[in-house]
Amino acid sequence: MSHHLVEVKDLCYNYPDGTTALNGISFRITHGESVALVGANGAGKSTLLLHLNGILMASMGQVRIGDLPVTRATLAEVRRTVGMIFQDPDDQLFMPTVGEDVAFGPANLGLPREEVDERVRKALQKVGIEHLAGRPPYRLSGGEKRRAAIATVLALMPDILVMDEPTTGLDPLGRRQLIKLLADFHHTKIVATHDLDLVMDICPRTIVIKDGKIVADGNTAEIFRDSGLLSACHLEMPLAMQGCPICSRS
């Protein structure tokens, strides 16, 4: 299924002040892969994600989604394929109620009202906030906003799901529900996160970014066992791989 393909070639991006954010990034993600992007703050993860549905355009290089290069002319089609969940839920919630926020995308696709309502119901149910459909977003907790933002994207039924720090603000129950939701999403997933235990649960492949460059790309468990690599990139081994400190002392 070529429309699930994500291909980035020699991608470079400079901020308006001239600072280099991405410097020659290249990778290919195929249908059904679950891939994590990890790295320290400022490594370039969020900037990279914003190129995958055309919020940012490359200074040099190319991004392709399926057979389409990401250009201003292809944005509408690219954004039907790539569902983007931003780091800050407030960037996605702007309607008077949660239900209207979730309905906004499907309605703008021109879908019949009955189908829009059904997509809203299913999306809210998947993230466990059906009871919040009539509530204004500003009256939600941080974790509730996160779930509502996820629902706005699920309602679009994207082929590729891109998420920036999806567990931020979630309590343990919300985090477990998110892991299950992502496990049940059988299309392509790309997740930028500092939550390396989440990565262990859902992403067999990990790409490590440092100073705007890819420094590792491969099997998640193998990468996370490389203590030298993790230390150089200001990362720590996931708790699930560290073992019990009391037992290790004894």
pLDDT digits (tens, 9 = 90+) for 222-237: 999 999 999 999 998 8
Place of tokens 């996820």: 150
Q: Are 61 and 71 in contact (CB under 8 A)?
A: no
Q: pLDDT tens digits for 115-154?
A: 999 999 999 998 889 999 999 999 998 888 988 999 999 9
Query: Over the range 125-163, which residues count as b (16 or more CB within 10 Å of their CB) and which as e?
Result: ebbbbbebbebebeebeebbbbbbbbbbbbbbebbbbbb
Sequence-distant (6+) residues with CB within 8 A of 221 are 200, 241
Closest by alpha carbon to 190, among 180, 177, 204, 176? 204
- Mean pLDDT confidence for 72-100: 92
Sequence-distant (6+) residues with CB within 8 A of 135 are 97, 98
Q: Assign residue 182 a region (left: φ > 0; alpha: ψ between -120 and 50; beta: otherwise).
A: alpha
Third-level CATH fold of 2-249 = Rossmann fold (3.40.50)
- pLDDT, the chain, mean: 90
Residue 52 has pLDDT above 80, yes or no: yes
Classify 176 as helix, strand or coil: helix
Please tell me the distance from the alpha carbon of residue 163 to that of residue 160, in angstroms, as a whole number: 10
Start-to-end CA distance of the chain, whole Å, equals 52
Polymer length of the chain:
250
Residue 110 has pLDDT above 80, yes or no: yes
pLDDT > 70 in the chain, percent? 96
pLDDT value at position 33? 94
Sequence-distant (6+) residues with CB within 8 A of 63 are 6, 7, 8, 9, 11, 51, 52, 69, 70
Predicted TM-score (pTM) of this structure: 0.89
Closest by alpha carbon to 157, among 177, 185, 125? 185
Query: Over the range 180-196, which residues count as b (16 or more CB within 10 Å of their CB) and which as e?
Result: ebbeebebbbbbbbbbb
